[in-house]
Structure 1
Amino acid sequence: MTETISQAVAARDNSPSGLIKQYSESFAQVLPSHVKPATWVRLAQGALKRGKRADDGRFDLEIAAANNPGVFLSALLDAARQGLEPGTEQYYLTPRKVKGRLEILGITGYQGHIELMYRAGAVASVVAEVVRENDEYRYQRGIDEVPIHRFKPFARDAERGKLVGVYAYARMKDGAVSRVVELNQDDITRIKASSQGASSEYSPWVKFEAQMWLKSAVRQLQKWVPTSAEFRMELARAAAEAQRVATAPDAPAGTSLLHGDVLEGEVLDEASTDEHTAGGADEDVWPATAPAGGAQ
């Protein structure tokens, strides 16, 4: 007997883990080429099995994902487009309450922002550190190249004291140092106040406070270093143009190829990926996203 559409839908695994597998091809279409789709899918499925368990044995993230599959899949699609690992410090998956029910909130972590900087190809290293009240910290803009930050080796957080600031800077491959970003407690308070669901018991601001301070500084640093694919394409274009000029029949004597050129003085925005859409056959249409609302 031919299986009816309703029977096929009923037999489909619509659990959060099953949905990840079901839409794995959609994720693969937007993942950067250096990320293996099968590995990324396994990481996404494993991320659901962390955190607190409810009375029915399910984890909070599983419950949140099942409550609103559209929001859950949208968060994973966001992580996939950036090529970041979901459920890690690259890309947090955290529950939040909306109208009394848990839903998934996807947040790019500080390690994710750093990863995007490295991928652009101009950054050799990124330094991001929190400063506590008992630390030694000194930096004079225009005089010091980078901050001087010292504290007792292996000192515990209690010894170093409460968080009072955070800084970040990048050293470029040509040896130059980016602008040093410094944020104090007032800066962090303003950023936290504008963050969705920051006061929730599940928020990274509550569970991973130091990491969120680091993220805030690294996000500001992104304004001062290249982070986009556009930068890499411009480098490739410049190299190709140099090759063309150097090999032209009428090239001046002594012309040589350019190596390691770095664009300066321009901040390039992240290339938009909004043109990517998931789907295909009717059965692959993504679940509708419920409207946002309620407690954040």
Structure 2
Amino acid sequence: MSLSTLKDRVRAATTEQPAAVATVSALAEDAKASTPEQLHTSAQAEGGDIADVALAWLERYRNEFTRALPSHIDTAAFLAAVRAALPGLINCTPASLLQSLLTCARFGLIPDGRHAVIKREGKTAVFVPMAQGYVELMYRSGRVGSVHVGMIHEADEWVYEPTAPAPLDFTHKPALTVSKKDRGPVILAYAFCWMASGARSQVVILTREDAEEIRDEYSSAYRRAQDSGANDSFWHTDFNKMWAKSALRRLHKVVPMSAELVALLKADEAGDAGQVQIVHAPAEDAHLQAEADEAHERAEESQDPKETRTRPLPRKRSQPRRTTRKSRKGTCR
């Protein structure tokens, strides 16, 4: 029987493994090495590397990756990025690793640390799209001309007046002529898009407090890492990147959305919640397209200044350092 959808192929690929196999390392060695240490010893004796042994197993599914990847991404390049990430994933279950990688491929994102990451949580491999991955899918929608994501430091010049017409409502001039230390800590993250039509989206701005509230309320991965004492979630290890990603994710409320981007948001949320990341085929899912169309309508409405009801942040101009005043903290949700 032919498998018509990627979801069917993933299910078939991940259920054909022997029930006794618990980890990728064990599967890669056909159960000859029952511990990571033994696998290392075996791989070294054969003149190879543990990641090469695991990659040899994944090569069995090359055709599945080729079907999942869009035509502009070479399968060899994708697997090369996977090879670099494998040493940290060999204790994951083979089913979760294969599904997370096929999900990553389905969205046309390379797990290179910039576009996406495959992260280990216990014995489960989880697909995590990064900020650049979201940007990539926004461009693919054909409705977005450019995406801007940035971080404002304490010594930077910036102005945000949401009642002013775009693009006068927001400017950011980084203090690039001073040292990183003198630029001070990051105080705001922002994101906005210029549409293909020439219109500009609403600017999304998040304070550190906003980012912490998002983390505490929505990130199950952060809470699991806190409760276990591991403190190894991305909110622990890369707070600023997650801060910027949160600003970018909030753009989905004010920019045109594609069904594929809706699916990416859902996969990201499922992974963070510790749930199975179902591989969607957005073109076949009418409800995803309906959500995208609804988001597009919201984006069009957001261009009307009357629809903006955010509290303005104060204007800040450069001053001699000894007389510079700190800006009041503001929020744009």
Classify the secondary structure of the residue corresponding to 1:174.
coil
Classify the secondary structure of the residue corresponding to 1:165.
strand
Scaled by the length of structure 2, the TM-score of the pair is 0.57
| Structure 1 counterpart of 2:192, one-letter code | Y
1:168 equivalent in alignment to 2:191? yes
Instruction: Tell me what 2:113 maps to.
Output: 88
Instruction: Tell me what 1:210 maps to.
Output: 240
CA 1:12–1:90: 2 relative to 1, 3 Å: closer
What is the deviation of 1:169? 0.4
For residues 189 and 27 of structure 2, the distance between their equivalents in structure 1, rounded to whole angstroms, comes to 51
What is the deviation of 1:201? 4.1
For residues 27 and 212 of structure 2, the distance between their equivalents in structure 1, rounded to whole angstroms, comes to 49
| Structure 2 counterpart of 1:123, one-letter code | V
Higher relative contact order (CA 8 A, sep 6+): 1
Q: Contact 2:146 / 2:194 at 8 angstroms: preserved in 1?
A: yes
What is the deviation of 1:17? 1.8
What is the deviation of 1:46? 2.2
| Structure 2 counterpart of 1:148, one-letter code | T
For residues 12 and 184 of structure 1, the distance between their equivalents in structure 2, rounded to whole angstroms, comes to 46
The partner residue of 2:98 within 53, 73, 85 is: 73
1:265 equivalent in alignment to 2:297? yes
Q: Contact 2:137 / 2:260 at 8 angstroms: preserved in 1?
A: no
Give the helix-richer structure, 1 or 2.
2
Q: Contact 1:119 / 1:227 at 8 angstroms: preserved in 2?
A: no
For residues 230 and 11 of structure 1, the distance between their equivalents in structure 2, rounded to whole angstroms, comes to 32
Q: Over aligned residues, Cα RMSD in angstroms?
A: 3.2
Classify the secondary structure of the residue corresponding to 1:158.
helix
Q: Contact 2:28 / 2:54 at 8 angstroms: preserved in 1?
A: no
Scaled by the length of structure 1, the TM-score of the pair is 0.63
The unaligned stretches of length 5 or more in structure 2 are: 1-17, 31-52, 262-281, 284-294, 301-333
What is the deviation of 1:182? 1.1
- Identity of paired residues, percent? 30
The partner residue of 2:203 within 163, 169, 180 is: 180
Aligned length: 215
What is the deviation of 1:22? 1.8
For residues 105 and 210 of structure 2, the distance between their equivalents in structure 1, rounded to whole angstroms, comes to 30
| Structure 2 counterpart of 1:110, one-letter code | A
What is the deviation of 1:266? 5.3
What is the deviation of 1:12? 6.3
For residues 11 and 121 of structure 1, the distance between their equivalents in structure 2, rounded to whole angstroms, comes to 42
